Structure 1
């Protein structure tokens, strides 16, 4: 009996369709995933899939829901700061297991129940920590994609000088010298340190240290604002200054 014969004898349901799609994306990437290929993997005709997902977009929505299920829930009996940090890092670990995940998340334009549920529980960690709805609103804007475990990096592959390996050493040296003369500050920062390619989600220098460094800066800042009773109204009255907001208004 072939794998296709075995698959065809296994009852088809939505969860099996989604999980198989996730496995295929893990193996070959999101671009190679199609309804026809998924049907072949499941040992069914493509039309059989449409009983469980309306099409490719709904399939991707369901795959994102599968990812959310892998993200650890909010830690009980933990202060808000630790709870948020652990949740973000759990999301990051999930995306590192599924390299196509960022592309799928960024392509979603509608907030599905799974996405809304994740956002709701994420917001709940701040509110449970005593944050006002006002400060939580702005904290969520600041966190942005970090809620999902990724962030858009400034120093991506395009920022550093690109020289093919086949280029002679003297040509590479000349190219770097030209870069240093034209954009010395960019070169100094973009080539400053080594990055762990295995920890990258997407493209660029988004390694684990940089990700946690930025996350901790944000959480420390949220904590200071919370302790000072920050409000957006006070911030606007103080000219938008975060430092002055939360202090008594004369």
Structure 2
């Protein structure tokens, strides 16, 4: 028994700890991840984990790095046929990020909770900036583009308008008329919209169609500004 414990400790590494934490979050949810629970999953005493992650916050940072590290690498600039290929390259990378976040639905919540970007997130952002710069974007426009994309560049958005939650039949009968009287346009839109429940990243109605719809609007707008030579220091072109 002692030899088994020692073997487990000897085989323990930071990567193994982080991979186990990600797997635990995938199966049981992020709230289930604790140093004690993780040590049980790995078959070691809790103190053994602290040799590889200093605390829970460092563990969460490392989990973010594992997830972001799974995103497909960007298409090489050398493989582009023209500078205009920036749009398809960026779109491809962002949708790859979304596929990764769909595999780890807890990750968006953790990413939003980080006080500062982790090293792998910084590397990811750097590669995104490079694609815009290689596509002919000025540093000024790229700066504003990155702000506009926000969390969408990592494959998720935090929606303000959520019409994915359907009212129960009794709630419809009891409250729909009253709601329609107070918020007619909101109810009309919510009742008319259709969303795929299985495609949501976290909470909200951030489904695949809505995500790509907004992404394509942004990319088209970015390209128009690039062609216009837009600058934040100049009057907005008509």
TM (norm. structure 2) is: 0.90
SS class of match (2:132): helix
Equivalent-residue separation in structure 2 for 1:182 and 1:60 (angstroms): 43
Q: Which residue of 1 aligns with 2:227?
A: 227
2:47 aligned with 1:41: no
Q: What RMSD in Å do the two structures reach over aligned CA positions?
A: 2.0
Gaps of 5+ in 2: none
Q: State the match for 1:186 in structure 2.
A: 186
Instruction: Please give the per-residue CA displacement for 1:6-43, whole angstroms capped at 9, x wherever unaligned.
Output: 98277000000000000000011111110000001101
Which structure 2 residues correspond to residues 1-250 of structure 1 after superposition, within 5 A? 8=8, 11-76=11-76, 77-78=79-80, 79-156=85-162, 162-163=167-168, 167=170, 172-234=172-234, 238=235, 241=236, 243-244=237-238
In 2, distance between residues paired with 1:61 and 1:130? 33
- Give SS of 1:88's match: helix
Between the aligned partners of 1:14 and 1:185, the Cα distance in structure 2 is 52
2:9–2:48: 8 Å Cα contact kept in structure 1? Answer: no
Q: How many aligned positions are there?
A: 230
- The TM-score normalised by the length of structure 1 is 0.86
Assess if the C-alpha contact under 8 Å between 2:97 and 2:153 holds in 1. Answer: yes
CA contact (8 A) 2:64 2:118 kept: no
Unaligned runs of 5+ in 1: 245-250
Tell me how far apart the structure 2 counterparts of residues 16 and 161 of structure 1 sit (CA, whole Å): 41
SS in structure 1 at match of 2:229: coil
